[in-house]
Amino acid sequence: MKIDLQDKVAIITGASRGIGADIAESFVQAGAKVVLAARKQEGVEAVAAQIRAAGGEALAMACHTGDTAQIEALVAAAVERFGKVDVLVNNAATNPYFGPMMGVEWPAWDKTFDVNVKGYFAAARAVAQHLIDRGAPGAILNVSSVLGLRAGRFQGVYAMTKAAVISMTKTLAVEWGPSGIRVNAIAPGFIDTKFSAALTHNDGIKKMIVDKTPLGRIGSPDDVSGLAVYLASDAAKFVTGATFVADGGLTVE
């Protein structure tokens, strides 16, 4: 079966840079129309402009995914512009605290859970309701992390949210499967983006990661986006409730 997203409309959150922007561009190359969301309009507008310049269709919209009202508005705007939504990629995330768990302050805890868990669920539920109302199948893809599968030293709260995303993915796959809605997760390893720059641009930490990675390198956003295209496409029509690790083999041992 050909892997493409022809005639599909996809919402991608956290799409102003890094993994989200690369997924958006890959979706368009596969035939999709995309709705790009991030907190700052100028960020997603820049990505949308690049997509339009290359002949694709993109709507850019500022959306703070920790705010459920803004998520509802995002889905409504996508439907108004393109008539439907077929795919959701939950990718927006935050990680405001780096340090031991004993030192985390509650505002940082709340912000991390609001964006990384509540925001994912709110967006997934809004898109699922739209799909159910249409009587249409669809795909929801949650970007988790390998830190959702192992201890998150100095990133404990972030790691907990990513573990919650994996659990959420499984439960929603079971509940929404009868409606033809597939829900899967990707757990990237260390990917060279601005979000992870504190780790991947630190020579000592980078060497430690690379030395433990069988493929011998840090990942790039396009190491994730190809997998996202597959999971969003009809080629993965019998795949749901799964978490796909893209980490160069880091977590194998």
pLDDT in tens, 117-135: 999 999 999 999 999 999 9
CB-CB contact of 59 with 47 (8 Å) = no
Least confident window among 8-12, 167-171, 203-207: 203-207
Q: What mean pLDDT comes out for the span 191-210? A: 78
Domain ranges within the chain, ordered by starting residue: 9-246
Q: Is 120 a catalytic residue?
A: no
How does pLDDT run across 42-51, given as a tens digit for each residue?
A: 999 999 999 9
| Helix, strand, coil percent content, the chain, rounded in steps of 5 | 50, 15, 35
Q: pLDDT band for position 205 (50/70/90)?
A: confident
Query: Of these residues, 97, 120, 158, 230, which one is catalytic?
Result: 158
Q: Taking all residues of the chain, what is their mean pLDDT, rounded to a whole number? A: 95
Least confident window among 29-33, 173-177, 196-200: 196-200
**What pLDDT does 193 receive?**
78
Percent of the chain with pLDDT over 70: 98
Number of neighbouring beta carbons within 10 Å of residue 176: 20
For residue 205, give Cα distances in angstroms to 7, 97, 196, 202: 43, 18, 11, 5
In the CATH hierarchy, which top-level class contains the domain 9-246?
Answer: alpha beta
Partners of 34 in beta bridges: 10, 58
Does residue 3 register a pLDDT over 90? yes
